[in-house]
Structures are given as C-alpha cells and as structure tokens.
Amino acid sequence: MSQELNNLTIAEAREGLSQKKFSSRELVEACFAEIHKREPELHAFLEPFFHTKHQAEEKEFNEGALSGIPFAIKDNILIKGQVASAGSKILENYKASYDATVTKKMWDAGALFIGRTNMDEFAMGSSTENSAYGPTKNPYDVSRVPGGSSGGSAAAVASGMCLGALGSDTGGSIRQPASFCGVVGLKPTYGAVSRLGLIAMASSLDVIGPITKTVEDAEILFNVIRGRDSFDSTTADSRITNKELGIKGLKIGVPKEYFGEGLHPEVKKVIESAIKKMEEAGAIIKEISLPHSKYALEVYYIIMPAEVSANLARFDGIRYGSSVATSYKLQATSLYDVYAKTRAEGFGHEVKRRVMLGTYTLSHGYYDAYYLKAQKVRRLIRDDFVKAFEEVDIIAGPTTPDVAFRFGEKANDPVSMYLSDIYTVAINLAGLPALSMPAGFVERDGKKLPVGLQLVGKWFEEDVILSIGKELEEIL
C-alpha cells in the first residue's frame, strides 16, 4: 500500500492524511522508496534529505494547506542550513543562512522538503546538460533530456519521487521541462511570488513557481507561495478575479506566429486537437497576432545575459562560495588573480558565455546599440499582448516546438538549444502568467513522449488560467 502513496496528488494526499488513512511518515517513506528505485537511473536529485523522515514524525498534522506533504526544491532556492549550489561548482559548499520566502511559506503551511533537485548551472539551459553535477534523464525515455533548467524538479514529480516541486522560470524553465516530462508547470506573473532567497539569474525575468501532477495541485501550491513580500519590492498580490470564467463562452486567442515554421507537425496536431476540444466545449477561438514575438529570442539573449553578468559578479572568491584564495594548487598572487582563477575554475562554459555576452552588451559604446534597443523592443513585445488581451481572455498555443530531444543533440549548438524556448521567452519579457499542461503524446522510436499546451493569462490573473486548466484536464 505505502508503495503507491507517492503517486497521489497533493489534493488526494491531503485528504488521506486528514482522514488518517495513512501518516505523513508513510507518505515520505513511499517517496524515498521510489527514490531508491528510480534515482540511480534518473538523477533528478542533487541531494535527497533523508532526515525528512524524522521531521514527518515530529510534525503534527494541522490545518496547513501542505501539512505533511513532501516536496522537492530546485537547487537555486534557499532552505536554511542546506546547501544551495544552483547546479554550479562555485557554490558546491554554500549553505543557505536563511529560508527563501517561498520555503518559509511552505514550511509554515506544513510542507516537508525531501531533497534539492538538479538544474542547469545558474538556471542557464534547456536540458540540465549544463549542470556541473551531470544531467537528469527524462522518465519517459532515459535517452532524452527532461528539459531545463528545472529538469530535476520536473523529472522528480513525473516519476513519483515527490508529490510536487518548486522550479524557477526566467525564459521557460518551469514550462519547458513540465512539457517534456508530462507534468503541470505554472510560471506566475512577474512579481506574484517573492524572489527573496532565489539565487538570481536575470532579475527582471525570474519567477518561482510550482511543478505538479495536476492543475489543482499547482493552484494549491501557488496559493501558498504567492503574495506581496516586504523583502522584494517588485512583488504584488495577485488579483482574485472571481470571474468564474469557464471554457463555455471563453475567448481564446491563438497566435498565428506560434503555429508557423519550426513547430513540429505532430506537436501541432496535438495542440490543435486540444484547442478543438475547447471549441467543442463552447470556447470562441480567435486567431490573433503577436507581430513582435519574432524578436523575442534576440531581445531575451541581450537582456538576460546583461542581468546575468551583473548578478554573477558577486561570485568572486571573496564573498560567496568556493575560492582559489585558499587553494594551494591554484595559488593566487593578487586580488585580481583570486577573482579570475575562482571564476575560471568555478563556472561552466554556458555561464561564462553569457557573462561575456552580457558584459559586452552593457559596455560603454555598445549599451545604446544593444541593451537600450532591446529594452525598447521588449516594450513592443509587451504591447502586443496588451492589444491581444483587449480581444481575448486567454491565449493558447504550444509550450515548445517539439518534444524532448536526445542527449547531445543540441548541446554543442547553443542557438538550436535556445530555439526550444521560442514560445516561452516572450511571456517572461512581458511578465505574464502562463501554465503548461499535458495535452497528449507523440510517438518517437516506440516511446510515448508528452506534449505541453501553454495557456497564457492576463497580468496577475493566475486564477483564470488555473480554473480553465482544471476544466480542460477533464475533457482532454
């Protein structure tokens, strides 16, 4: 019996715990049993927290929305006293001295943390191949990537090693792995969830959100972590619109730019059939245009690296993380040497590539030509959405142009890797909320691989896409 508890949804587990059908300890043990079975092959975790078993016993079940339920946390979100390495060598031994606002809120709601999950280094990547600790495998086909950068969290949820997880999304890192692993991922509105205690990648784009088995579970977790935080001045409370919008009569915008060249025909078929089902259920489908979205990837790859280069300047061998100052082998002879050697040793290729790109576009003489120009185009991308939302309630389309790819397929070609975020980055640039949910499967080499449908909502209207998502789960 306890072996299957790990496959429950958060809502089901909460119900079972409250009726004392099983204990939190049994639930945690079921997850660890699955970890013992699957983890050697999948490598979703950087560190399972075995001490959680004892916490499960000590913590009394209470009214908290997550009471007694085990979660996995992406390795760039701080849990006091635990290592948070952001998938990087440079933070290999960095222990968090405080809880992120999200972890504190989850802890207060009764959650248990059963491990920290693997990710692309500093959340830069789409496959977990950029992790300094080796890649995570896709539970549907271990020769394929789980997506990234929150690939560990998505694989852990998809394989039943935990009931839910947190990820972070800067350009697609919750939605793309959720899509590749056949689970639900919610990227909240920028500012709907506090970033205190999230190791920063690109501060004007980063947001923390849930990765779960069902849309209802994503809603439960989002309701715990969301809200204004005095420690993060960019936060605001989400509107609870209570619009009671159902699929019937809902105006759904389908951007023509998301169905053109580059979208795999089989993926297109799955997404079109999901949209058709919504139409049959009474939705009004409207073709819309997001004319500036064709510049989204270029704009993202100017703004994001600029912010990365500023944020990662703090890893200098003095203030955080590992340092060559104390290494005999790499003896540094000057302060500059400490910086240079620490960073050369501690960062991987992709991180270095982006720091260099960002430093270049921010440099005197190029700032206006690149960074400032990109900010202006970012505004136009956002305005496309403002215009679209005058006509429609939500926007629907594919999360990614294709299903999970094979290891090595894109690792040596950064641009082809970047293209897997073509439908997600514009939404980060605009700061909108978006949900990726399983819409069906395509078959490759005799294996079924999941396809994700993306639903984009108006700013701070997560409740609309969540309620539509829940209804859609029933009819898909």
Stretch that binds ligand GLN, among 120-128, 325-333, 372-380, 401-409 (CB under 6 A): 120-128
The yes or no reply on residue 149 touching ligand GLN (CB under 6 A) is: yes
Give the residue with the Cβ less far from ligand GLN, 24 or 428. Answer: 428
Strand order in the sheet with 45-48: 45-48, 112-117, 70-74, 164-169, 207-212, 184-187, 434-444, 447-456, 394-398, 251-255, 284-288
Other Cβ atoms less than 10 A from the Cβ of 189: the count is 24
C-alpha distances in angstroms, 378 versus 40, 271, 344, 424?
43, 27, 32, 14
Length of the chain: 476
CA distance 213 to 367: 43
Give the closest residue to 113 by CA, choosing from 157, 68, 158.
Answer: 68
Stretch touching ligand GLN by CB under 6 A, among 1-9, 77-85, 171-179, 286-294: 171-179
Minimum CB separation from ligand GLN for residue 2, in Å?
A: 35
Measured from the CB atom, is 170 or 322 closer to ligand GLN? 170
User: Please, which residues have CB within 8 angstroms of residue 449's CB and are 6 or more apart in sequence?
Assistant: 140, 141, 144, 180, 403, 404, 441, 442, 443
**Which residue lies nearer to ligand GLN by CB, 120 or 217?**
120
Tokens at 217, concatenated: 């579970």
Contact window for ligand GLN (CB under 6 A) among 124-132, 282-290, 429-437, 443-451: 124-132
Would you tell me how many other CB atoms lie within 10 Å of the CB of residue 174?
34
Residue 421 engages ligand GLN in binding (rule: CB under 6 A)? yes
List 123, 302, 427, 468, residue binding ligand GLN (CB under 6 A): 123
Q: Is residue 171 a contact point for ligand GLN (CB under 6 A)?
A: yes
Strand ranges (E), 233-355: 251-255, 284-288
149 cis-preceded (ω within 30 degrees of 0): yes
Q: Which stretch binds ligand GLN (CB under 6 A): 94-102, 164-172, 271-279, 335-343?
A: 164-172
Kindly state the smallest distance separating residue 285's Cβ from ligand GLN, in Å. Answer: 29
Which of the 8 DSSP states describes residue 138?
A: B
Q: Does an H or E element contain 218, and which?
A: helix 215-225
Mask for 24-53, x = binds ligand GLN (CB under 6 A): ------------------------------
The nearest distance, CB 394 to ligand GLN, in angstroms, is 21
Q: Does 159 contact ligand GLN by CB under 6 A?
A: no
Is there binding between residue 88 and ligand GLN (CB under 6 A)? no
Asked if 126 is part of the footprint of ligand GLN (rule: CB under 6 A), the reply reads yes
173: nearest Cα among 128, 133, 216: 128
Number of residues that bind ligand GLN (CB under 6 A): 13
339 versus 423: smaller Cβ distance to ligand GLN:
423
Residue nearest to ligand GLN (CB): 173
With CB under 6 A as the contact rule, which of the stretches 43-51, 93-101, 170-178, 456-464 interacts with ligand GLN? 170-178
- 176 vs 323, which CB is nearer to ligand GLN? 176
**Which of the residues 195 through 214 are near ligand GLN (CB under 6 A)?**
201
Query: Do the Cβ atoms of 86 and 200 come closer than 8 Å?
Result: no
Kindly give, in sequence order, each residue whose CB lies less than 8 Å from that of residue 212, ignoring residues fewer than 6 positions away: 9, 10, 157, 163, 164, 165, 183, 184, 218, 220, 221
- We find the least distance from the C-beta atom of residue 69 to ligand GLN, in angstroms, to be 25
Q: With respect to ligand GLN, which residue has the nearer C-beta, 420 or 467?
A: 420
**Separation CA 13–CA 7 (nearest Å):** 9
Out of 128, 136, 173, 467, the residue judged to bind ligand GLN by CB under 6 A: 173
In whole angstroms, what is the distance from residue 175 CA to residue 70 CA?
A: 21
Q: Which is nearer to ligand GLN, 402 or 421 (CB)?
A: 421
Nearest-angstrom CA–CA distance, 149 and 118: 8
The distance of closest approach from Cβ of residue 177 to ligand GLN in the complex, given in angstroms and rounded to an integer, is 9
What residues form DSSP beta bridges with 139? none
CA distance 17 to 407: 40
Nearer to ligand GLN, 86 or 106 (CB): 86
Residues classed as catalytic: 74, 149, 173
x-or-dash string of contact with ligand GLN, 331-360, rule CB under 6 A: ------------------------------
Residue from the set 115, 125, 152, 210 that interacts with ligand GLN by CB under 6 A: 125
* Tokens linked to 253: 């915008």
Using the minimum distance from each CB to ligand GLN, give the nearer residue, 200 or 278. Answer: 200
Least Å from the CB of residue 234 to ligand GLN:
17
Output the smallest distance, CB 392 to ligand GLN, in A.
25
Rule CB under 6 A: choose which of 109, 124, 208, 456 binds ligand GLN: 124
Residues 274-313 that bind ligand GLN (CB under 6 A): 304
Query: What value does the CA radius of gyration of the chain take, rounded to a whole number of Å?
Result: 21
* One-character DSSP codes across 24-59: HHHHHHHHHHHHHHHHHHH--EEEE-TTHHHHHHHS
Token pair recorded at residue 124: 């830069």
CA separation for the pair 193, 26 (Å, rounded): 31
| Positions in the binding site for ligand GLN (CB under 6 A) | 123-126, 149, 169-173, 201, 304, 421
